[in-house]
Amino acid sequence: MIRQRLIRYSVYRNMFLSFVLLTAGIIALVTVVLFALFSWSTAREVGHISESMLKQNSAVSSVIKDEVYNIGNLLLADRQVVSALFDNDADQIKRYHASFALQRMQSTYPYIQSIGLYNGLTDTYMNTTGISHEQEQPLLQQIVQKNGSYFNLFPRTVNVPGSSQERQVLTFVLLPSYYSLMPARGALLINIDSEYIQSLIGGYKNDAADELFVVNAKGQVLTHSESDRFLTDMSGDPNIQHILETDQPSGYFMDGKRKLVTYVKSPDMDWMFVSVSDYKNLLFNMNLLKWSALGLAVLIFALSLGVSLWLTNHAYNPLRHLLEKMLPAGKTKIGNMRLNEFALLDDSYSQLKERLSAMESAASRGQQAELVQMLKGGNSLQYERFKQHFPAKRYSVMVILVDKLSHFRNHGDAETRSFAYASIYKMAEEVLGEHEARLAIAGEGIITGVLKASEGPYPTQPGSAFIELQSQIYEKLGVSVTIGIGPSAYEYDELCVSFEKACTCVQQRFLQGAGQIHFCGQEEGPAESKEYPHKYETSIIDAIKLQQRFRLNREIEQWLHGIRDCEYHEALFYMNQLVGSLYRQFHAKTLRDCSVSASFSQFIHHIDVYETLEEIGDALKELAHRLCDEMEEASDARYKKIVSDIKRFVEKHYMRPDLSLELVASEVSLSRSYVGKLFKAHCHISFNDYMNGVRLTKAKELLMASDMPVQLVSEQVGIYNTTYFYTLFKKHYKMSPAQFRLQGNVREGTAQ
């Protein structure tokens, strides 16, 4: 039974698979989270353990420091060693006895590789392994330079006499001169084998650690589990950089290569003990844990299959009962054919809905058509039948008009518009249901209706059902509507008048704005005619001529305000009159651009399409600004011609001493200040600078082409003040006229 359902029914199969995938996802998520938490907890514990073990290693630095201090104190307490340090004569006997004392000390401490004694007074050096003064010369120079503290450390490699191998040692230098009673120059050198320090650290080494080493504050390796890494500079390593930059005395972190890095900083010396371990080696039973977690997840998943099957059966029962009731018995028993239950239900529901919709639609369309015909002037028989089905003492007609219909028409297909109109119709039926309204779609974007009128001049008061209807339409469809309500009617003729007045009401949105409710009373007479605002028309034309765009917008707003109280058709007439005046004023002189003329034509042809005064005002502003652009282009062409004439005049009369801005302004019949501003605006340079530039260019040509004196050249270009000419020339060319001529002659001679 279950197997048959899984094969035949897609909804049953999808429900089962959904439950299975849901449980599998939850199991996988829980398993991964628990495994991640365990790994993180384990890594943290291992890090703490590794840090604790490394802190034990850091005690090595204290031991070594104490031992070096102890050895130094013993040596300084030896009379023979001190005698050799104080020796001013380089006495060989004293050196001999001191050598024996150093060897005894070395034999006492087997981890000491060698001990050296340096006498700065005689610049002599001795060493227990025979290392010469010349071999130790670089180190001795550093000792002299760092003679500022008692205790110093120099990691290095030394060549032991009699052996070809280099030894890795940490040289601890004790400078007795740090104390006032000791010689001014001298040092004790205690060389400890690096392998000895590594052996001490290795005693605490964790088996999981891949590397265990010590670096100083400069990132230089002092000892390493790999001996060939001694003295390696690791300051560029990201892990070492992180350890050097942190202020924590100890800690651990994971690097980018999945390695656990643990560090401890020595409080006694500038040593840092570092341990690097591969993370996968820290979790010894990780594979076993993975397989155990996977096995447990598989077991839980197997149990979840049974739970999913039980949930599917219980969730599917309502759908199974619905199928048995809605579908014929033969449809659910079609052999082994695979079925989609939702498709079967949808098909049956669609057929039933189509039959009901067809019957309802035919009846509704007939009633709506008869209602619209009756309101537009049918016959009294239609009115009598209407009163029988919809009895009332008084009626009132309402008209709903969709705002921004042209935008809605351009940005939506026919199916979308039809759905929107039907939705508005249904919402109007629901909201106005308590008023028992009879509604009909009277045209594209227009819905009309007849309501039972209450006592008073209007069927209802603003702010009730009509406001609610507007808000619902805007909230659900994003469309605003304007509603017009006609006066109450007792007889059929009065009902037709109420319809006409309701249609007139909605036209008021042009002047008063969209999305409003307009009520028309029975006694309303013709509105008083408003005077055409000639004053603002003149101001608009002046603003266009002067290209005062801000003022132009203000004057258009004033003109629109002047016709706001007119009737709809009167306002359209005044708008045509204004556009005609603009066309007559500017067409002959400025409208050379065909697109501007086309804008006039388009504005006139679409003037009755604009739904509100604001829309037509925006279109009028756009048209006026296009006229400003055309005027501005014409002015720019005129200004460019004036500037070109000025330049030609200067090129022709540059040698005249009386050439000036006043002279040029008189030539172009403009004022001096206006010409100066115009020239600088178009050329980005003042007139005087341009005139001087032309004169200096001509002067350069005369200096190169002739041998006439500089004074005569100055007069030839219209500058009779030679000193002023020198100043201008040097300012422009960074040299005097004589230097310029000499430089030009030199170039000609070189070219020849």
**Helix segments in 191-257, DSSP class H:** 194-202, 238-245
Report CA 694 to chain centroid distance, whole Å.
52
CA distance 420 to 471: 15
The three state secondary structure string of 609-654 is: CCCCHHHHHHHHHHHHHHHHHHHHHHHHHHHHHHHHHHHHHHHHHC
Which residues, other chains included, contact 747 with Cβ-Cβ below 8 Å and sequence gap of 6+? none
Least-confidence region, from 133-137, 392-396, 512-516, 743-747:
743-747
Beta-sheet pairing, 517-519 with 112-119? unpaired
Helix axes 687-705, 613-653, angle to 10 degrees: 30
Cβ–Cβ under 8 Å, residues 235 and 241: yes
- Of the candidates 234, 212, 236, 235, the one whose C-alpha atom is nearest the C-alpha of residue 225 is 212
Strand blocks (E) in 200-290? 209-216, 221-224, 250-254, 259-265, 271-278
- Partners of 152 in beta bridges: 173
Query: For 551-563, what is each residue's pLDDT tens digit?
Result: 888 888 888 888 8
- Range 385-415 burial, b when 16+ CB lie within 10 A, else e: ebeeeeeeebbbbbbbbbbbbeebeeeeeee
Beta-sheet pairing, 517-519 with 481-485? parallel
Cβ–Cβ under 8 Å, residues 80 and 92: no
Query: For 251-280, what is each residue's pLDDT tens digit?
Result: 888 876 778 888 888 877 888 888 888 766
- Partners of 191 in beta bridges: 114, 171
CA distance 488 to 394: 6
CA distance 574 to 543: 20
- pLDDT over 50 at 334, yes or no: no
- pLDDT over 70 at 5, yes or no: no
Query: For 51-97, what is each residue's pLDDT tens digit?
Result: 777 777 677 778 888 888 888 888 888 888 888 887 888 888 888 88
Token output for 263: 């560090």
CA distance 675 to 744: 38
Please state whether the predicted TM-score (pTM) of the whole model is above 0.85.
no
Length reported for the chain: 752
Which residues, other chains included, contact 305 with Cβ-Cβ below 8 Å and sequence gap of 6+? 20
Classify 397 as helix, strand or coil. Answer: strand
pLDDT interval class at 750 (50, 70, 90): low
Query: For 558-602, what is each residue's pLDDT tens digit?
Result: 888 888 777 777 888 888 888 888 887 776 555 455 666 777 777
Classify 713 as helix, strand or coil. Answer: helix
Token output for 431: 């909201």
**Helix segments in 327-340, DSSP class H:** none
Query: For 367-405, what is each residue's pLDDT tens digit?
Result: 788 888 888 877 778 888 888 888 888 888 888 888 877
DSSP annotation of 528: P
